[in-house]
Structures are given as C-alpha cells and as structure tokens.
Amino acid sequence: MTIDEVYKFVQFMANKEQRGYVKPSEFNMLSKRAQLDVIKEKVGKPSPTAGVIGYKDTAQLSDELYPVTVFESNLTVSGDLFTFPANYLHFVSLWYGGNSVEMISLGELYKRRSSSLVFPSLDSPVGVIEENGVRIFTDTLGASDTTFTARLNYIKKPSDPNWAYNTVNSIEIYNSSDSTQLTLADSTHKEIANRILGYIGVNLREAEIITYSESKNQEQKQ
C-alpha cells in the first residue's frame, strides 16, 4: 500500500466510526509512531538481564524486517567503545574477531572477569551495551578490547512516513513526489493502519479490513 492508500483507509474508518477528520499532520505523526511500534513488537522484548533486543528470526519476520535490517556493519571505535551507527534502533547480533559476542549485563561482567571457568576470551568474547555503543571484553585486562573489527547486525531507524499534499481550493491533494512511503514491507501496512486507528480510538475487526479491501478492488475494476 502507498502512504496515500493507508491514509485513505484511516480516513474511511475514522469517518465510519464518527471520529472526525484526521489531519495530515496527525496522520504523519501517528504513522511514524505506528511503524516504530510494529518494528519493536516484531523484533522482540528486551532481555531481563542485559537489556538486549532478541530478534525472533523466522522467514516471515525476516521478510517484513528486511527493509530495516543492516548486516555486518563495521563499528567505529571511540576510546574503548564501539559506537552505534547514527541510524541504530535495535540490537540483533554482534561479531568480533570472527566470533559471536555474548551480550551480558554489567553485573554479569564482573562475575565473568573474576571467574577462572567462564573468563572472557577472544574465542568467547562478551559485550556490554551502553547508551552510545558496546564494550567488548576478551582476555585483555583492564579496558575493553578494540584490537579487531566489530561487525554489528542491527535494526535501523526507518524514514519518517510523510503524506505530502498541495492545497487546491482549500482541499488537500496528495502529492506523491514529495511524500515518503512506509519503509516496512507491504505485509505490515494493514497492521500499521490498524495501529493508527487504535491510537485515535477506532477498534477494527479483521472482517472490516477485508470488506474495505474488497470494496476498493471492485472500484478499481469498474
């Protein structure tokens, strides 16, 4: 669905439920929030120990999140911190020196570094997420190890959706060339639209979405 089709669907259902006219500025704000919420739900919940997002990897999820998934991005080093890219949104996985990095909490790190059995090593590196990046620990004493390249798989921030328009006789007319489409795959657009409607107090059933889709298909055939 184009951003215009999503907006028309939201307007149709909002009017049907007597929720009033949804302004373009309101729609743009809500569509941005809805797309981010859908991404967050599909990526998964934070780990109770390390605060790391766990990417639930299935074929459908991979297809839906592929437009916002970045693979093996080389991280920049700042001091002893590997910094996140500017468009970073959610953590997926991290590789360092050719090995997968186990993400742990700061409290767990202290336990690991004082243990002779599970002490971090280059073969079994561990990482701790901070606000702006990741610190990686191997068998190097003191600060985190930045000897090798760290490659991050992550979910990036999508572009903000934008339904752009020109005003003709006080009527807002869709401007496709200046609009920004939804970043996520088409299979998520109904869910995004449904979330937008939920924000404005319209609760839909799947049958209503199907009925609307069928009516639009009939219109296009005529």
| Per-residue model confidence (pLDDT) at position 51 | 44
Query: Under 8 Å CB-to-CB from 152, ≥6 apart: which residues?
Result: 70, 72, 73, 75, 82, 84, 85, 91, 92, 93, 94, 95, 134
What does the pLDDT look like over 150-186, one tens digit per residue? Answer: 999 999 999 999 999 999 999 999 999 999 999 999 9
Distance CA(22)–CA(16), nearest Å, equals 12
Give the pair of three-digit tokens for residue 144: 């985190």
pLDDT at 177: 97
Nearest 5°: phi and psi at 105?
-85, 165
* CA nearest to 5, candidates 172, 160, 186: 186
Q: What pLDDT score was predicted for residue 165?
A: 97
3 state DSSP class of 151 = strand
Render the burial of 12-36: b for 16+ CB within 10 Å, e for the rest.
Answer: ebbeeeeeeebeeeebbebbbebbb
How many CB atoms lie under 10 A from the CB of residue 86? 7
Q: What is the pLDDT of residue 49?
A: 41
pTM above 0.85, yes or no: no
Which residues of the chain have a pLDDT value below 70? 45-61, 141-142, 203-222
Supply the pLDDT for residue 211: 58
* pLDDT for res 48: 43
